[in-house]
Amino acid sequence: MIRAFHTSTTSLHVLQSIGYSFIKKNISNTKKDNMGEINVSDGRKEISINIKEYRKVSDLTKYVAIKMNISEFWLEYNGLRLKENSPISEIKFDQTTKISVIYKKLHCFFKQCYNKAGKINSDCNYCSKNYCAKHRIPESHACIEIESCKKAANSRNEAKLLKEKLTRNKI
């Protein structure tokens, strides 16, 4: 009885001669198998998932929903939306595969805020990202363009003061 063996070619030939021809087929399939660890990202948080554990995209979607604590979203791969009922084996994955999480509603882009972004005044004029009412002011979401924001505010204030400056005494 054989308990353990090495996967070298000599041991495969020995096993084939004994009648274990199916082992070589299974080992070569695992070498060609390009499915493994993939990254799922929503722009803020990224998780690694072993794709072999899931048969359908719907199973993967349920796992991502639980792991990332989100509800209304879909998954995209190479810019195409993954269909819920399609099997994962149809998708061509490689080692740099990244699946994106796309939200159905506009959500606040602040680090750990998942509140709904407003429809009218939700986007920042400086970094062009959507924020909720709490984080829509550039100072509250630590805008990367905060310096240009301050310069614009200073120039507006300077123009207003120069316009209101008195040139003569009114008395």
Could you state, in chain order, the average pLDDT of each consecutive group of 10 residues for the chain (171 residues)?
39 40 30 58 75 83 82 78 82 72 74 76 78 82 82 92 78 68
Sign of CA dihedral 58, 60, 66, 68: negative
Name the nearest CA neighbour of 58 among 32, 90, 84: 84
The pLDDT score that the predictor gives to residue 105 is 67
Q: Which of 152, 150, 121 is nearest to 135 (CA)?
A: 121
Confidence (pLDDT) at 154: 93
Total residue count of the chain as it appears in this document: 171
What pTM was estimated for this model as a whole? 0.42
> β-strand 80-81 against 37-41: which pairing, if any?
unpaired
Bridge partners of 48, per DSSP, are 39
* Domain assignments of the chain as residue spans, ordered by start: 1-33, 37-103, 109-171
Residue 154 DSSP label: H
Q: pLDDT value at position 18?
A: 40
Class for the domain spanning 37-103: alpha beta
d(CA 77, CA 99): 5
CB 99 within 8 A of CB 63: no
Residue with tokens 């554990």: 53
* CB of 40 closer than 8 Å to CB of 62: no
The token pair that represents 135 in the structure block: 């984080």
